[in-house]
Chains A and B, each alone.
Chain A
């Protein structure tokens, strides 16, 4: 049971390039999330998904896109990289019950992707 895995661990992009951050979980969790972590700013929610085929915006979605074609995978797409997207990105998942997260649901995090845009 690998939990939540993310690839790549590190990446450097040039302004205007695009890339996809991969996230996979093997816990059969319904809910998945993408966060970014900036120094002194805590975690900000980018996008989340409550199940395959269902995604929605979080607090800071601009410049990103997601898809959820399977329960296991939740990739995050950056189309036109900008320096403001330099950050550490974390994927997380939680069990969730039909329609909403249970009040005691724990989120399980991947190890993160450190992205630098130059």
Chain B
């Protein structure tokens, strides 16, 4: 079956630092790739997505590029803010109704 590997964290950064959260996956076929974010006490919400190789998803200053050759979808942000403190989930979606596989989530803590 599909699987996702991402760093567990917590990742602690100072405000304005550069962020990278690595994500690699194995999936059948040609998946779409998603990053979801979970703020404290809330459900998950879509952060960004990419549907084909070399696509770059972006939102709220976050970016991730679909790298088919390395099966990776690393999340980056140039300058994090305290409000970015949350748990981030990488999630490939293969063909089929239940084939969304969530990573374990990476907790990000940004300190002023």
Assuming the A-B contacts A58-B98, A106-B34, are A101 and B43 also in contact, with contact meaning beta carbons closer than 8 angstroms in the complex? no
Return the contact of A104 from the options B32, B98, B100, B103 (Cβ within 8 A): B32
Q: Mark B25-58, 1 if CB is under 8 A from A, else 0.
A: 0000001101010000111111001010000000
How many residues of chain B are within 8 Å of chain A by beta carbon? 25
| Chain B interface mostly | loop
A90 engages B103 (CB within 8 Å): no
Residues in B with CB closer than 8 Å to A74 are none
**Cα distance A43–B104 when bound, in Å?**
7
How many residues of chain A are within 8 Å of chain B by beta carbon? 28
A101 engages B96 (CB within 8 Å): yes
Q: Which of A78-102 contact B (CB under 8 A)?
A: 90, 92, 96, 100-101
* Interface contacts beyond A42-B105, A108-B45: sample of 17 additional A-B pairs, CB < 8 Å, sorted by A: A40-B104, A42-B89, A42-B103, A43-B89, A45-B100, A56-B98, A58-B98, A92-B44, A100-B95, A103-B31, A105-B93, A106-B34, A106-B46, A106-B49, A107-B44, A109-B43, A112-B43
